[in-house]
Structure 1
Amino acid sequence: MSDAPARALVVDDERMNREVIVANLRAAGFETVMAEDGVQAWGILQAHPGSFDVILLDRRMPRMNGMELLTRLKADDKLAHIPVIMQTAYAETEDVSEGIKAGAYYYLAKPLDRRLLLSVTEAAIADHQRRQRLADDLDKRTTAILLLEQGRFRFRTLEEGHTLAVALARSCPQARHLAAGLSEMFTNAVEHGNLGIDFDLKAELVAAKRWRQEIEARLDTPLGRSRSVEVLVDRHPDAIRFVIRDQGKGFDWRAYDDISPERAFATHGRGIALARRLAFTSVEYNDMGNEVTCIVTGPNPEEPAYVICAEAPAITPDRPAAEAEETRLARSMQMELLPNPQVLAEAARRLGIQVSAHFEPSSSLGGDLWGMHVIDDNRLALWLADFSGHGLGAALNTFRLHTLVAQCTPLADMPGAFLAEINRRLTGLLPQGQYAAMTYGVIDLGADAFVYAAAAMPAPLFRHAGGGMARSGVERGDGSGLPLGLTQGATYVERNMRLTAGGILVLASDGLTDNPMTDGTRLGNSGMETLLAQTETTTPNSADSVLAPFLARVKRPLRDDLTVLCATIP
């Protein structure tokens, strides 16, 4: 689990049961919220859909029982991903099978055993977090894999399998489910196939929290270093076939082909069955169990017409060519995160606001990122972020932020709350010593205002048409605020700037004021205001045009990433 404590919703109509579960979870470091029945739990979940990492759910309750609540959860897109642990005194096969079909893949029998309570809860959260990481990584990958027709890949470690699963998942529809399914199959090929870790041994390792250490130790033996997993991919117009071969002795796959009621109370052993349910049309093992063919059917309407045939080399660390390719792909992926022309056109069509940007990283990869979102016919959200550091590490953080911003869209019209939530999610997620500066604001044409919150960013500037209320014609906002990712409970002040028709709003990263120019001087904050005031009001709405005097003189290569947004108010 991450440094931030996991949060559990405990739903049980018996007060003593609730308190026992909560006491044990809190002693283990969990945050908990209690509900007395399904109705109360549903209200809590509707009010706070993104607040919980796991739900412990009693099956038999008044008003709304566990199965009714489970059905509602799985039908709600905002809640369906939360793992549910069904706790019940009725461990009948029929009851368990019904719960599994409804989406409860983890079970606890009453009376509860403290050790099993913690191990099953931790396992459910770990499985969920791994699937979420796959989904996050999937959003960051390049779409070049869509061009793949046939390929052969080879990997050895779980991390390499994770990377390959995400990459291959982009080759077909339902990519998020496919990434999870391939990852489960790849993990099985490594741990059960090549490394020979069976079900019982894994149970012991998970209970002792030594599973990861054992995997690494076995991978470092002569046998572990010599074995790899081969993956063959064959793409057809209406189906994609994946053949996965390990070099182990095989295993009895038949026992794991579905989630059985007998294993519903175990901490693991669901991977193959989940992969079959989530990702694949069919899953067929050979008799030995060291080769499996997984097929996904259904045409992809967005499939490009171009086709390549590629045989990829084995994935090995520290290959300069591989690193260069990874950087190139990461650069392409980072550019994909920026708003596309269709997004800019929507802002112009619906609100009449012309938005443009200049984005220039100081190296192949940068730590700046910007975005926009049309809230309604009167409001446009704009944001710009600047991560500490440069290169691949900073770029990876921009991928994280892009996903978080999308998850926080329900707060789009509340800049202070938006930044506070982004900060909450980034804290504990960023590597130690890293942080982000960010401005998030809403152009509200109905109120003639830019409502914004800032976290240690350069102040926003607004150039009024014809001079406006400021003597220089340029009004300066306030970019002060605690950087994101440093402390969990930070709050952010909402501020206002008055907007006037024909004026230009400018948001920039500190690369605009801090990068040296060819004569060795720096523009600085006052220089930026002067430069903006001197530009004619008839200047076309383009970051490159408005700031052309500076952009032409700045010294290259840049010392810091440079991003500028310009928005002209109708």
Structure 2
Amino acid sequence: MSAAPARALVVDDERMNREVIVANLRAAGFETVTAEDGVQAWGILNAHPNSFDVILLDRRMPRMNGMELLTRLKADERLNHIPVIMQTAYAETEDISEGITAGAYYYLAKPLDRRLLLSVTEAAIADHQRRLRLQDDLDKRTTAMRLLDRGRFRFRTLDEGHTLAVALARACPQARHLVAGLSELFTNAVEHGNLGIDFDEKAELVAAKRWRQEIEARLDTPRGRGRWVDVQVDRQADGVRFVIRDQGDGFNWRAFDRISPERAFAPHGRGIALARRLAFTSVEFNDAGNEVTCWVASGGNDAQAETPPSVTCTEAAVISEAPPETVSEEIQLARTMQMELLPSAQSLAEIERRLGVRLSAHFETSSTLGGDLWGLQPIDDGRLGLWLADFSGHGLTAALNTFRLHSLVANCTPVADMPAAFLAEVNRRLVGLLPLGQYATMLYGVVDLVAGSFRYAAAAMPPPLLRRPDGQVVRGDGAGLPLGVSAHAVYAERNIPLCPGALLFMASDGLADSMALDGNRLGAAGVESLLEASARNLGKDTDAVLAPFLAQIQRPLRDDLTALCCACP
């Protein structure tokens, strides 16, 4: 039986260009489907994600241009494997570099040469098919790992650790984030643990481009050949536990346990903090630092809904601040300016008039002034964007960054209906604006009244929560690279179906990190418990839903606290 012909999606706003490309491809045996712009192409791809072997994409088009569509493709796990050939009349070095960086590894200039068109298209499809075969082989090899109940592994080199990280991650939830976290901890066990390379020494080796060479040299010594990293895996009903032990003397892990603003842009020194924040539910070192226990909780993120809701929210922008005498005049002025950036009562009333939605929000600054900010992004008469951000640090610097973000968000309206592309654009702009060592976390989502869904993207932010009418809380996914760390970061678009009677809840980490009245940290579990308990307020204003949270928090606050909720009738 002969193989089915390859299928190409041709996206170009000019009819003549489409016809020329289609004629050449069909003459060479390809099947083709056409789209007049990025919006139409996205509709085709979203409805038929497994139907195409290659996409030929024009760069400049109305409604949604090629780069915007490319960003959306690469953020969607169903579609990001499809090779994209970017074709444009503007084949300049900057355009090509931007396209390749965004994930278009093939580029053609207009007017198209038939020979090059066919050779490049065939090469893109061949590469794609090879990757699919490799992925299939990997899936077959790791299927047995999913059956693992308890196991023990050991490795010595970085390459062996990488191989083990891939195999173990493929057998666990959130494999893409987990493989990065395991790899960071495995690398740490080899270089800092068994080989004894400290932070300053690694900085010198990285600067001299000798880090990998030094690793290999030390692995080839009697000490390096005789030391191993031991990994124990224990799968339980509610998650998977990893215990990683090296044979070194340990290191000062406490200095690297959190993301340090001072080292956010350093070439190393933040891997453990990112692993804790993005990959694992919990990460706990022993006192010496030569053993770490990591926990990955299981459980799905998807909620099911049978009917599209109409979302209603109440307006309440509650602002509380520390006594004026405890802060400087500069801090008081910055706090006042920061509060003025929040949506006004008039803007909320206008949204209620246009969309029939009602929003409840609480914004409370810490005594030292943090970096929280939230906002609204009306898209059309059926969709509303909600966002919440938190900058690193405190004081005037954090407040200044919220002013920067407020301006950037206003300039990103062309991609307001595409959460992943929205975050990618904000990130790209922040990289050029933030001072060295600073970053932000952010959650941006679109409440779609017609589709009955909350589509969102996250950058290392506490996940959104959805409380069902029966009180069950569905937890989203807040994983993603913080904004401002890398200009080339790509963010995933996720979806939570909304259902009648449900409540959407978003909050900054100031809520979970706050101390409850009983003297314990509220934590993520405490937030979810409070949200479950708020089911009795289902028929009341969303202000009443926020009240139990605010009553449980000790003052003064350690960090800014922001919370938003959106109730579905």
TM-score normalised over the length of structure 1: 0.42
**TM-score (normalizing by structure 2):** 0.42
User: Based on CA coordinates, which of the two structures has the bigger radius of gyration?
Assistant: 1
